[in-house]
Copies of this chain bind each other. A is one copy, B any other.
């Protein structure tokens, strides 16, 4: 029964029980953490083969006799490009392999257009103000880059199949200082939603006032499925080609959550003209990224199939974490009318939407009970959740026992705060 439909006496009784339950958790001196979207130790152990991966000349002397220990091969080695191309449906000829961080490639892209402009257009720094569209809730590190560059962020709601495209189209079309949109199109951080084919089509076909409009397509969870019914994301470059808008897209991903967050490889893929421009700038910027780590990844992952096998093993570990979290939410909060969420088929997060004006209270009470959540507001530009309602849950890192306990506390706390609000006590 919905909390709002319970009579006051019954809800008050429930509230008192919840207070007692919460006090019990608080007294237990817990130290739990649901804030960190990072792999657990068991996941990291899957890539131990990278730690024990002796390389000899048959590995580091690549195609064409090139010694990967030395200078050269600015955009990465062909062997790793091929794996990513096969696994992700990308063109290896217009792919650049980065270092450990795809975020760094995104930052560099924004910085490059800011200083030098895109494909001959006016540098973004020459405008009084430029703007980016930000589907919300979204990824705090994305927002932080945009905020650092002084780029105004325009929020657009995430719907069940991606951003509200009516709004996105309207904003992109009316103002040539709107220079782009930043998004995670598959298993979006934090909603877990994947953009529908219709949304991808509209991203490619929409008219934009700015000819240098850029979509930061952060496909961080491209192959990070963990159920038997994975989402599928349309191949954006195929569709963009139909509409002649390939130059609009910068596609990023990395192995941070395939092998190691601390020692992976990243990539950016683009149309030929956009790739050429990035590669030319890279020739000024760097002598190139670590090629031996690319070699190690090639030897360890072998090919696109090897990559898929790795993701199946990752899924086996990740799935139980999500099952525990989802079960706790479903049993504990289902039907109460105080919270909703989406059970994702992949990715790293569950986005929990509470009654307006309750998220900070839940966060604080959780903290007082020894359970750390992602800061409220982190999922919104400027750290401000306009409804004070969104919590991002990251179930992968804690052990299953810790997770169960943390979810128990969360369910109790959410109910407590919402009951209190409804009761006005």
Contact = CB atoms under 8 A, between A and B. Distances in A.
Contact of A287 (B51, B70, B103, B125): B103
Contact of A261 (B70, B99, B256): B70
Interface string A279-293: 001011111111111
B103 A286 contact: yes
B71 A287 contact: no
A32 to B, nearest CB: 17
A149 interface: yes
B285 A104 contact: yes
Interface string A41-82: 100100100111011100010000001111111000000000
A107 interface: yes
A101 B54 CA distance: 23
A104 B288 CA distance: 8
B56 A44 contact: no
B99 A290 contact: yes
Contacts of A72: 262
Contacts of A7: none
Contacts of A104: 285-287
A290 to B, nearest CB: 5
Interface in A236-266: 256, 260-263
A361 interface: no
A73 B36 CA distance: 15
A293 B107 CA distance: 23
Contacts of A300: none
Contact of A262 (B111, B144, B288): B288
A52 B54 contact: yes
28 contacts: A44-B70, A47-B69, A54-B54, A69-B261, A69-B263, A70-B262, A71-B262, A72-B262, A99-B289, A99-B290, A100-B288, A100-B290, A101-B286, A101-B287, A101-B288, A103-B286, A103-B287, A111-B111, A111-B115, A115-B115, A115-B149, A125-B125, A148-B284, A256-B287, A262-B288, A262-B292, A263-B291, A263-B293
